[in-house]
Amino acid sequence: MSHFIHPQGICESPRIGAGTRIWAFAHVLPGATIGADCNICDNVFIENDVVLGDRVTVKCGVQLWDGLRVGNDVFIGPNATFTNDPFPRSKRQPERFSPTTIEHNASIGANATILPGLTIGQYAMVGAGSVVTHSVPPYAIVVGNPARIVGYTTTTAEGITARADSPPAHTPSRVRGVVLKEFPRHQDMRGSLTVGNFATDIPFSPRRYFMVFDVPSRDVRGEHAHKACEQFLICTKGSVRVVADDGKDRQEFLLNSSSKGLYLPPMTWASQYAYSADAVLLVFASHEYDAADYIRNYDEFLEQANGGESAT
């Protein structure tokens, strides 16, 4: 047999991948599909309409209910709880269970609860004990009840210190085309002034601007890319964190000075989070608003950014 089933485990499904191990007191129903090299620990129950990818770890005390789809290389911590019916009643089964998707390389912490019908994005991390009430974006780290984004995986906060009367300085990033720029800052007893020139300091002439403010600190904005539009971000008051992603590399930037700006070229997936209560984000855009210019699905962005080839 290409997979292992503990003598005290029950596996009724014929669709078990090579190298998978099913341990004591686990029960797999006939309709379930489990990929290769998975580890199904003690006291796990897997219902019929469940599909697990390859190299999935399911720790002790987890129940996987109908409608769950799990990608490759996912970790599910002990006693994590999944749900598939938003309004459960005894002896009343819905016509269709709400599907839940855990994308590849995501991790679910111990005792976390995932409400029905959500997607946990690729490489996301759900903190132990969290209650997830909304879908989690790729790479996001969420904690709490209800779970909120507190950071992103594989990113570090980058910043530069503004120096009085310093000349403009470009700081290239790991992300293709993204530049963190420091503008000259002049300060005297009358106040402070910072200035930049379009087409030289900011590499395009804007056709549009918008401002973002009064954002609850728990909320995330952005989470999209533009096909053609360039953007330049300045946090004129307070602070905000920006994550930029070119489909291969990701980097996080802290905008906390009106003399600091971030250039985002086309085909950059960007998210803003951790707004301070007083944050005011000014955004210059190279194009007028065009809904067709937006890419709002991360998988679609990856495909286009990498010439039709997935980066993962």
- Give 210-220 pLDDT, tens digit per residue: 999 999 876 78
- Whichever domain contains 62, its CATH number is 2.160.10.10
Q: What is the pTM of this model?
A: 0.83
Q: Are 253 and 159 in contact (CB under 8 A)?
A: yes
For residues 119 and 218, state if they share a domain: no
Determine the structural domain holding residue 177 and report its residue range. Answer: 157-305
Q: How confident is the model at residue 310 (pLDDT cuts 50, 70, 90)?
A: low
For residues 297 and 191, state if they share a domain: yes
For residues 170 and 149, state if they share a domain: no
In a domain, 311, yes or no: no
For residues 166 and 98, state if they share a domain: no
Q: Is the pLDDT of residue 3 over 80?
A: yes
For residues 4 and 110, state if they share a domain: yes
For residues 210 and 124, state if they share a domain: no
For residues 140 and 257, state if they share a domain: no
Among 153, 175, 191, residue at a domain's last position? 153
Task: Tell how many helices (H) and how many strands (E) occur in the chain.
Answer: 1, 35
For residues 161 and 286, state if they share a domain: yes
For residues 58 and 107, state if they share a domain: yes
- Whichever domain contains 258, its CATH number is 2.60.120.10
* pLDDT single digits (tens) 220-271: 888 999 999 999 999 999 999 999 999 999 999 999 999 999 999 999 999 9
In a domain, 312, yes or no: no
For residues 178 and 247, state if they share a domain: yes
Among 153, 168, 190, residue at a domain's last position? 153
Rounded average pLDDT over 137-141 = 94
In a domain, 310, yes or no: no
* pLDDT single digits (tens) 47-91: 999 999 999 999 999 999 999 999 999 999 999 999 999 999 999
Q: How confident is the model at residue 162 (pLDDT cuts 50, 70, 90)?
A: very low
What average pLDDT does the chain have?
91
| Residues ≥6 apart with Cβ < 8 Å to 291 | none
DSSP 162: -
In a domain, 208, yes or no: yes
> Could you give the CA distance from residue 71 to residue 54 in angstroms, rounded to a whole number?
7
For residues 189 and 127, state if they share a domain: no
How far is Cα of residue 6 from the mean position of the Cα atoms in its chain? 36
Rounded average pLDDT over 123-132 = 97
In a domain, 237, yes or no: yes
Among 104, 119, 153, residue at a domain's last position? 153
Q: Is the pLDDT of residue 188 over 90?
A: no
State residue 280's pLDDT score: 96
**How many separate domains does the chain show?**
2
Which is nearest to 295 in space by CA: 266, 252, 264, 253? 266
State residue 6's pLDDT score: 97
For residues 131 and 172, state if they share a domain: no
State residue 148's pLDDT score: 92
Q: How confident is the model at residue 155 (pLDDT cuts 50, 70, 90)?
A: low
> Could you give the CA distance from residue 174 to residue 288 in angstroms, rounded to a whole number?
28
